[in-house]
Each structure stands twice: as C-alpha cells, then as structure tokens.
Amino acid sequence: MANTEITQETRKLIKEKPKVLRQKDFTIVISVFSVALFILGWELVSKKEWIDPLFVSSPSEIFQAAVVMVQEPAFWSNMGVSGYEFAIGFVFAVLIGIPIGVLSGWNKIFNAIVNPFISGLYVTPKVALLPVIVIALGIGVESKMLIVFLMAFFPIVLNAQKAMQTLDQNLIKAARTFTASEFQVFKTIALPSTVPFLLAGIRLGIGQGLIGVVVGELFASSAGIGFQLTIDGQNLQTARMFVGIFVITITGLILSGLVGLLEKHFSSWRPQKD
C-alpha cells in the first residue's frame, strides 16, 4: 500500500514538472520578446528623429560607441576606480549594517540607543551630505566609498531589524520551554530565520550603492564611470553616455541576480506560488 502511494506521488510530480518548466519557458520568451520589441521601437524612433538625437542616441550607435570604448585604456581605468569604490563601501555597509540591524532587532536596549540615529539618517537625503563629505575627504576615492556606504547601509540594517522583529515567537517559546539559553535561541532560531531578509536587504543595498558611486563621481571626482559620464555629457557624446549608463545597469543586474539566486535558495522552505 505504501509503495503504491509513493508511486502515485512520483507520477504526479513527473506530470507537474514539465508543466512548471513550460510556464518558466513561456515567461522567459515573453521577457525576451518585450526587450527586443523595446529596442526595435527605440531604434525606429531614433532613426526617424522623432526625438532629437542630441538627447537620445540609437541602440546601433550605442553599440558602435561601446565597441570603440572597450578598446580605450581610460574606459577600463574608470571601471576599475568605480568598482573599487563600490566594493569597499558596500563591503563595509554589509559588515557593519548586518550586526547592528540584527542586534538592534534582538535587544531592546541596544535598539533604543541606535534607533534614533538610524531613523534620523535614513530620512536624510544622502546627496545633501556630499558637499560636507567632499570637504572632509576630498574628491578622491574615500569620499565615494563613504557615500556608497551611506546609501547601501540603511536598506541592509533596516531589513536586518525587520527580520529579527518578525521571528516566529512560537519557535522561540518552544526553545525556551526546553531551557534553551538566549544565545542558543539566537544562534539556532533567530540567525537562520533572518538569512532571506538579510539577502533581500543586500539586494536593495546593491542598487543604492551603485547610485551612490555614480552620484558621488558626478558631483566631484577625477576618475570613474560617473566622471566619464560628465566628460561625455560636456562633449555632447550621447552614445558614449549611454554606454556608461548601460555598464552600471548591467553590473547592477548581475550582482542583484547573484544575490537573488542565494535568496531563492534560502527561501526554498517557503510555500511555492501556483
């Protein structure tokens, strides 16, 4: 009887799996088609000059500009500067934001100490701090690292806080019933439960950090993708500007996609949507 039930369940899974794969393939096709249609429409609008080419270049011209730019040492040098600024600032945002968020969400006293500062700085426009940051640190990489840190820190710390505040209290009560210490509850229940939320915060922080590095370089810098955008804009080289924009966009998509895969892996215990 048990073998029959197992066989029936296996057959059911085998029948359902192709259906799920077909649905995923269908959504991928739709996504690819929508992007291709958008690019074709963009090319048509640009070629017909329905929009001034000075403002919006065509995809074909952007591609030609990209082919030229990737052969320029200055392009890779600017990429390296921006990547370095982003990496250092973002790593510090993760290393500092996660512990502060987790501890403030777990400990009420610690939360009472740090929450006024987190709340106040969160609603403060980070761009407004740029003049002060540049005056203090100059136009070198340090000022951009700090603005990346500030932009990425708050999504990470706030998600960590929320993760700790939405723990399953029944699990915690059950653990304490079996005389588990606070540290054991924290290590075995609280931390594992926060992983999907932490990854979601990191994913949000990536986008904010990329905004921070570009805005910082646009404001005051001597190198980086934002600096390259400024130079191209002053020279009215629209196609080259779009290359820089797409580099930032593709970088964000790749990094967010990698974190999204981890997020999906750690969220596999959640019920799947039909």
pLDDT digits 0-9 by tens, 124-175: 888 888 888 888 888 888 888 999 999 999 999 998 888 777 766 666 667 6
User: Domain locations in the chain?
Assistant: 1-51, 59-266
CA distance 53 to 70: 23
In this prediction, residue 89 carries a pLDDT of: 92
CA distance 272 to 27: 17
In this prediction, residue 180 carries a pLDDT of: 65
In this prediction, residue 12 carries a pLDDT of: 52
Scanning the structure block, which residue is given the tokens 């500030």?
Answer: 150
Residue 271: pLDDT band (50, 70, 90) is: very low
Question: Tokens in use for 14?
Answer: 């085998």
In this prediction, residue 149 carries a pLDDT of: 93
Question: How does pLDDT run across 99-133, given as a tens digit for each residue?
Answer: 898 888 878 888 888 888 888 888 888 888 888 88
CA distance 152 to 132: 19
What CATH topology corresponds to 59-266? MetI-like fold (1.10.3720)
CA distance 135 to 153: 22
Q: What is this structure's pTM? A: 0.78
In this prediction, residue 90 carries a pLDDT of: 94
